[in-house]
Amino acid sequence: MLTPIKTVCPVCRNRLEFSVDADTVICSSCGNTFRVSRREGGIALARIDPEAESVALSSDRTETLSTVIDERLTEVDELLEEAEAEVEAVRSREQSGPLRAGCSLFALFFAVLLVIILFGLLGREYVGGKLFYLALAVIIVVGLFRIRAKLSDQEEVERLKRTREEMETALAGLRTERDRLAELKSRLSEDDEPSADRD
């Protein structure tokens, strides 16, 4: 068993006794706390100021918390950018069905107009004949099939709408978290300012 170290309190001169491997010691008489440091085979006792220790710990915790908040804010900002881009992509796919159908209808109109012009150029006797109406019917039927193919399936539109709404809800949650983190950082800065003024 190791022999305890015996010395006197640097403040009140009361006897102190503590184990060899102790890092701190408290005087039972005056209540002061001392840090034990070992140098060249001897020991030295340095008084620990509880207020200074508390301020240092508080400052360290504030810095650590501030760093964690900054990292999380950066992460949330990146997630927000990605989520906003994804929402826009889903929204554009959701709206592209009617746009494609409109383009196909426009193409059908010009195809019909082209048939009329071609038959008019060939000769007036062809306009109004069976071949003319057959060509128009074929163009219209092919155009309607293309329009129908371009129209998105209703189930697909509903699925895209549900996906977009879920993503927008998640996006709102991310924005709320970002606001909360920014407010927490602001409060942390405000709490840190008075202690900086005291120093």
CA atoms within 13 A on the CB side of 195: 15
One domain for residues 123 and 157: yes
Strand, coil or helix: what is 66?
helix
> Do 192 and 102 have their domain in common?
yes
Assess whether 27 and 91 both reside in one domain.
no
Sequential DSSP letters for 121-188: HH-TTTTTSHHHHHHHHHHHHHHHHHHHHHSPPHHHHHHHHHHHHHHHHHHHHHHHHHHHHHHHHHHH
- Which contacts (CB < 8 Å, 24+ apart) does range 175-181 have? 175/80, 177/76, 178/73, 178/76, 178/77, 178/80, 181/69, 181/72, 181/73, 181/76
Q: Are strands 24-26 and 15-18 parallel, antiparallel or unpaired?
A: unpaired
Q: Are residues 132 and 181 in the same domain?
A: yes
Please say whether the beta carbons of 50 and 37 come within 8 A: no
| pLDDT at residue 92 tops 50 | yes
DSSP-derived 3-state class of residue 27: coil
Residues 137 and 71 in one domain: yes
* pLDDT, tens only, 123-182: 777 777 788 888 888 888 888 887 777 665 667 778 888 888 888 888 888 888 888 888
Indicate the burial class of 170 (C-beta count within 10 angstroms; 0-12, 13-18, 19 or more): middle
| 125, 162: one domain | yes
Same domain, 44 and 96: no
Least reliable range by pLDDT among 101-105, 107-111, 172-176, 189-193: 189-193
**Residue 150: predicted pLDDT:** 67
* pLDDT tens figures, 13-62: 888 888 777 788 888 788 788 888 887 777 888 887 765 544 444 556 66
The answer on 66 and 37 residing in a single domain is no
Rg value, the chain, Cα: 41
97 token code pair: 């069905």
Integer Cα distance of 130 and 67 in angstroms: 81
Alpha carbons 63 and 45: distance in angstroms, whole number: 29
Query: Residue 37 is part of which domain span?
Result: 5-48
Question: What is the tally of structural domains in the chain?
Answer: 2
Instruction: Identify whether residues 194 and 104 lie together within a single domain.
Output: yes
Residues 163 and 184 in one domain: yes
Same domain, 190 and 126: yes
Same domain? For 112 and 28 the reply is no
Checking if the pLDDT of 196 tops 70, the result is: no
Confidence class for position 187, pLDDT limits 50, 70, 90: confident
